[in-house]
């Protein structure tokens, strides 16, 4: 599964960094998205979800609701099958827009979903 991690970090103590690592360990293709980073552990970081060269199945959000609101149309425009709103990233307006387009939304922790085989 192709997964875009919006708000990816190069800091090992950050949940988005762990999500990238655990997604890869679980066999998923994780695409880091952050406008200010170029690489994380040698892997390319995309400035925008639109730059990802493959279809995105799942978007997992590690950004504030204010940031995800700004990125909303860009995210929805990639037509992911699912968007995961991690704790602190909840955005009811974006969730409603996603559901209106037939995109599944989940309020959950990506790390927990991975560790409990619910991803």
Mark residue 15 as left, alpha or beta (left: phi above 0; alpha: psi -120 to 50; beta: remaining).
Answer: alpha
**Rg of the chain, C-alpha, whole Å:** 13
pLDDT at 78: 97
Where do the domains of the chain lie, and which CATH numbers do they carry?
2-115 (3.40.50.720)
In this predicted model, what pLDDT tens digit does every residue of 17-53 receive, in sequence order? 999 999 999 999 999 999 999 999 999 999 999 999 9
In this predicted model, what pLDDT tens digit does every residue of 64-116 receive, in sequence order? 999 999 999 999 999 999 999 999 999 999 999 999 999 999 999 999 999 99
As a whole number of angstroms, the distance between CA 41 and CA 20 comes to 10
Residue 29: exposure state from Cβ atoms within 10 A (0-12, 13-18, ≥19): middle
Predicted TM-score (pTM) of the model is: 0.96
């Amino acid at each position: 599964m192709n997964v875009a991690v919006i708000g990816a970090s190069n800091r090992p103590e950050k949940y988005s960094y762990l999500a990238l690592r655990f997604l890869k360990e679980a066999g998923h293709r994780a695409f880091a998205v952050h406008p200010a980073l170029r690489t994380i552990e040698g892997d390319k970081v995309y400035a925008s979800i639109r730059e990802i060269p493959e279809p995105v199945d799942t978007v997992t959000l590690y950004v504030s609701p204010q940031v995800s609101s700004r990125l909303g149309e860009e995210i929805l425009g990639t037509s992911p099958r699912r968007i995961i709103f991690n704790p602190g990233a909840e955005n009811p307006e974006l969730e409603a827009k996603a559901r209106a387009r037939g995109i599944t939304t989940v309020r959950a922790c990506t790390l927990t979903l991975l560790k409990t085989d619910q991803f």
